[in-house]
Structure 1
Amino acid sequence: MSGQLAARFDGQVALVTGGGSGIGAAVARRLAAEGCARVHVADIDADNATAVADSVGGSVHVVDVADPQAVDDLVATVTGAEDRLDVVVHAAGVDDPAAKARILAAQESGEPVDVLCELDDGWYRVMSINLDGTFHVLRAAVRAMRPRGGGAIVTVGSSAAYDTLIGYPHYAASKAGVHALSQSVAKEVISYGIRVNTVAPGPVDTPMAGRTPGAVRKAMETTGAIGYASAEDLADNICYLASPGAKNVVGAVLLSNGGRFTV
């Protein structure tokens, strides 16, 4: 890593939600390696968050992003301790293993996929964490950054918002909402010097992907010129969007899907 790259976040304070594993953990490690004075790692899993925070000399926070007060308290704690917040990466999110199991069952039986008619609590869980959680984090981050006149926020959407998977309507809808929400907020807050952008991954080799049944995963691997991305690949994308090198990038949805499709 060149000296210039290593210093992209020199002296800055960062908050990473979903930082206990997968993409969020890779981002936390990258931000620390590139000069952040402090990386705050937030996750609903205390053990995972603690392990990542300890590895980067950061601070750990146990937070459910679906709880608006918990998110407000998280950001207040960070700014109270640091008196600044320069970068927020919102990587927290969930999938639906039950829906994936139904997709696999249909694939194995040759019957049509039947998820929609069985969706109930799964819909609300996915939407409350993926979409409502993004709103909570964006709102709290902007409130903290606006008085200082700047900052960078990166949300994590999904290529599934465009190339929707049969039997996964709630996940696709939640991530499409993340894209639209982030772009609308980006237009609103750039006047305060705050940049908001989104990365839209295709399949990524994370613990979430590990819950995808093997046959479903194999089918996903057959599309695109590149197989599953690594969490570090996505950290590269995200840290670019959060860096000064992307100062003219506002409201972008960066596809990172290995060439599966273009928009």
Structure 2
Amino acid sequence: MGDGRGDGRGDGRAGRFGGRVALVTGAGSGIGAATARRLAEQGAEVFAADIDGTAVAAVAAELPGARALTVDVADPAQVDRAIADATEAHGRLDVVVHAAGVDDPAAKEWIADALLDGRPPEVTTRLGDDAWRRVLRVNLDGTFHVLRAALRVMAPRGSGAVVTVGSSSAFDTLAGYPHYAASKAGAHALSQAVAKEAIAFGVRVNTVAPGPTETGMAARTPTALRRGFADPRVRPYATPEEIADIALFLASEDAANLVGAVLLANGGRFTV
């Protein structure tokens, strides 16, 4: 199932993903950027996609042969175009890592304020329709758009690997963060349902579900809330590179028997 480690015959590039073509969403920063770098280091031809065109262009400029694509995953036409661009450039698409996602800084502030005041957070009654739809549109709808577009090009070739980036929040839901938890739980279930369908066509779909990770999103987390995630009994915040390494494992032939897995990567904060 040619969905991971290549032999480099495609273009002479050596490495675990030599000769492979990979597209990474959310590649302008954080886990997505780390994943794009790791894939390039291991021989892949990388298409780095992000809604922030300037940021993703800077990441792509670091990587040999990489191309930057400006993509809003909430827009299915943009996702379809990005997948088509990657496929047309090399005649194939072997790996997709979907790391694009959004949080809600305003809701985080409300939760942090409640922590500082020693009272329960009150978010759901204050949560507007626009805030709800924004998080679901990007995190859940965007995952569907990426999975659908990837399968349309991978299934006819009978091979490929897709990795979606979920969240520990889908299991250990944070009080006052219902839209984010719902979006990630939905993305997990969506990925697993698609995985059971896609494997019949030689395409593997899996998910990595990080806990607290040092990304731009984490940098926007209020101090009081970050303090709540600190626990000396478990590992500290993960680095983006640590999560990227798990994504690459799932995309490689080392994980050939993993289909529909959701790998919890939270440093020991909880198990499921």
TM-score by length of 2: 0.93
Name 2:25's counterpart in structure 1.
Answer: 17
How many residues align structurally?
A: 258
- Quote the offset at 1:112 in angstroms: 2.0
Name 1:54's counterpart in structure 2.
Answer: 61
Local SS of the residue matching 2:173: coil
Alignment of 1:1-263 (within 5 A): 7-36=15-44, 38-57=45-64, 58-120=66-128, 121-222=130-231, 225-263=234-272
Return the letter of the residue paired with 2:63.
V
8 A Cα contact 1:202 1:256, kept in partner: yes
TM-score by length of 1: 0.96
Percent sequence identity is 62
Consecutive unaligned residues of structure 2, counting only runs of 5 or more, are: 1-6, 8-13
Quick one: distance in 1 between partners of 2:257 and 2:210?
Answer: 21
Distance 1:224 1:198, change over 3 A: farther
Return the letter of the residue paired with 1:78.
A
Return the letter of the residue paired with 1:122.
A
8 A Cα contact 1:224 1:258, kept in partner: no
Consecutive unaligned residues of structure 1, counting only runs of 5 or more, are: none
RMSD: 1.1
Show CA shifts across 1:113-162 (max 9, x none).
11101112111000000000000000000001111110000000100000
Quick one: distance in 2 between partners of 1:73 and 1:256?
Answer: 31
Quick one: distance in 2 between partners of 1:212 and 1:12?
Answer: 36
Distance 1:224 1:192, change over 3 A: farther
Local SS of the residue matching 1:261: coil
Quick one: distance in 1 between partners of 2:155 and 2:140?
Answer: 22
Quick one: distance in 2 between partners of 1:32 and 1:74?
Answer: 18
Local SS of the residue matching 2:271: coil
